[in-house]
Amino acid sequence: MIVGLGVLSAAAVALGVYATLSEPSESAGPERTKLGTVGSTEKTASRMSDEERMAYLDQNVTLGGLEASPKFAPDGKTPAPGLLDVKGEIENRGEETLDRLTIMILPLDDDGQVMGAYPENITRASPLGAHEKRAFNLVIPAREGFSGRLRHKLQ
């Protein structure tokens, strides 16, 4: 019987220790516990209002090297008719993690007029962390009259 009580006591102590350690720490804030992080403590732009988020994107997120070229089949030699390969690099220079970032690709004609709008969530696979730089590659339809120039908009 003493052995049985010893096992129960050990289990109770273990449960008590777990309960104590997993209770929120008063000084750590709502997302921290004495055991460590519960979920992500990184700031994310999804907690911002739409106005704050757009201001953050304008001030901290840059897109460079945006270019379009004909899309090729996997052999690298055969053009894929009707498709353009759009490449660029996105950089988050701020302190927030972006769990949703859409780039709107706007191809231009010879007169500088927008020929279409092609949105793509470039954070679908993983969020764009603070101070992270990442290359991206998108495929959009090729349109007759495309000048080779692109505009973009971040959302």
Per-residue pLDDT band for 98 (boundaries 50, 70, 90) equals very high
Parse the chain into domains and list their residue ranges: 2-37, 45-154
Per-residue pLDDT reduced to its tens digit, 105-130: 999 999 999 999 999 998 988 999 99
Global confidence as pTM: 0.66
CA separation for the pair 90, 88 (Å, rounded): 7
Contacts of residue 94, Cβ cutoff 8 Å, sequence gap at least 6: 56, 59, 60, 61, 130, 131
Q: What is the C-alpha separation between 121 and 113, in angstroms, rounded?
A: 24
The pLDDT of 68-79, averaged and rounded, is 91
The 10s digit of each residue's pLDDT in 32-61 is: 323 222 233 345 555 889 899 999 999 999
Pairwise pLDDT comparison (136 vs 12), residue with the higher score: 136
Q: Is the pLDDT of residue 92 over 90?
A: yes
Average pLDDT value for the chain:
78
Topology of domain 45-154, CATH: Immunoglobulin-like (2.60.40)
Mean pLDDT, residues 52-76: 94
Query: Which has more pLDDT, 8 or 76?
Result: 76
Element (H, E) at 151: strand 146-154
